[in-house]
């Protein structure tokens, strides 16, 4: 009984095209705007992922693995910023985990520029808990621990998914770096920062939930090869629940002190803000 060697399928008409033409077709079909430097991966408040070109890439993988590999290598190796966003203002780990399921480690390793648009505690837990952080008795320790864990997981997942990362941008609310959410305590908290910096005068100190997570970037491997860029945001629409909005001068001072703290504790290649 003779064995037969399986017949290899002949290349399709598309595969017979010159490589540079196939590359251009990938750009034109998969990217809404090939000239755009941002690729946005988002998740709405219901948890539905809007991956842009990723669905088309996955469909291409179902057609033929070699076509997917060729297209993905071209798409992910171009200069671009991968933006993770969440309409519910949850930490980007919700989007990152779904992105991980769609994109192979080989292709994720091509990504060098990531922007986590909403690095905030607001979407992790009910806002009323956050508003109570500086009231007598504060909020329950387990809530604080879980929110902090959620934010930490976001950064850890980012590092694992993108081993070749060179630039990390983080959307940060400077007010949220404090542990206070009302105007009277805000003024007192900023005065404390002006006088004493961000040292921890008690168990929680003035660092709130966000700043300790940012300072944990110091433990990242290759952090000295990464540029950290802070994008100042206002996730809480402060005028909506402050009787008087924080002054520009005090908010500017707060931003400057946050940057100084990060630069002193995180040995990144550079730390800037906009």
β pairing state of 113-116 and 81-86: parallel
Per-residue pLDDT of the chain (274 residues; tens, 9 = 90+): 555 555 666 778 888 889 889 888 888 877 767 677 788 888 766 666 776 677 778 788 888 888 888 888 888 877 888 888 876 666 677 788 888 888 889 889 989 999 998 888 765 554 455 555 544 444 456 666 777 788 888 899 999 999 999 999 999 888 778 765 554 566 666 777 766 666 554 444 456 778 888 999 999 999 999 999 999 988 766 555 555 566 788 788 889 989 998 999 999 999 999 9
Tell if the pTM clears 0.75, that is, is over it: yes
170: which strand partners?
A: 116, 230
CA 126 – CA 139 distance, rounded (Å): 12
CA 148 – CA 184 distance, rounded (Å): 25
């Amino acid at each position: 009984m003779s064995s037969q060697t399986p017949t290899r399928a002949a290349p399709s008409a598309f595969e017979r095209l010159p490589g540079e033409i196939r590359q251009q077709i990938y750009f034109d079909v998969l990217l809404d705007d090939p000239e755009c430097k941002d690729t946005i991966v988002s998740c709405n408040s219901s948890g539905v992922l809007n991956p842009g070109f990723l669905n088309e890439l996955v469909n291409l993988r179902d057609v033929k693995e070699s076509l997917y590999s060729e297209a993905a290598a071209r798409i992910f190796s171009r200069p671009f910023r991968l933006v993770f966003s969440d309409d519910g203002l949850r930490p980007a780990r919700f989007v990152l985990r779904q992105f991980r399921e769609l994109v192979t480690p080989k292709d994720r390793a091509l990504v060098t520029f990531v922007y986590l648009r909403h690095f905030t505690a607001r979407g992790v837990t009910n806002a009323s808990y956050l508003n109570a952080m500086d009231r007598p008795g504060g909020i329950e320790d387990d809530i604080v621990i879980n929110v902090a864990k959620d934010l930490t997981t976001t950064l850890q997942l980012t590092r694992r998914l993108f081993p070749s990362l060179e630039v990390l941008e983080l959307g940060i609310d400077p007010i949220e770096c404090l542990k206070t959410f009302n105007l009277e305590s805000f003024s007192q908290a900023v005065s404390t920062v002006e006088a004493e910096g961000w040292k921890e005068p008690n168990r929680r100190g003035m660092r709130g939930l966000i700043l300790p997570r940012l300072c944990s970037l110091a433990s990242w491997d290759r952090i000295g090869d990464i540029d950290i860029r802070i994008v100042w945001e206002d996730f809480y629409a402060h005028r909506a629940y402050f009787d008087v909005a924080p002054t520009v001068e005090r908010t500017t001072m707060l931003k400057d002190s946050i940057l100084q703290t990060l630069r002193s504790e995180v040995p990144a290649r550079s730390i800037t803000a906009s």
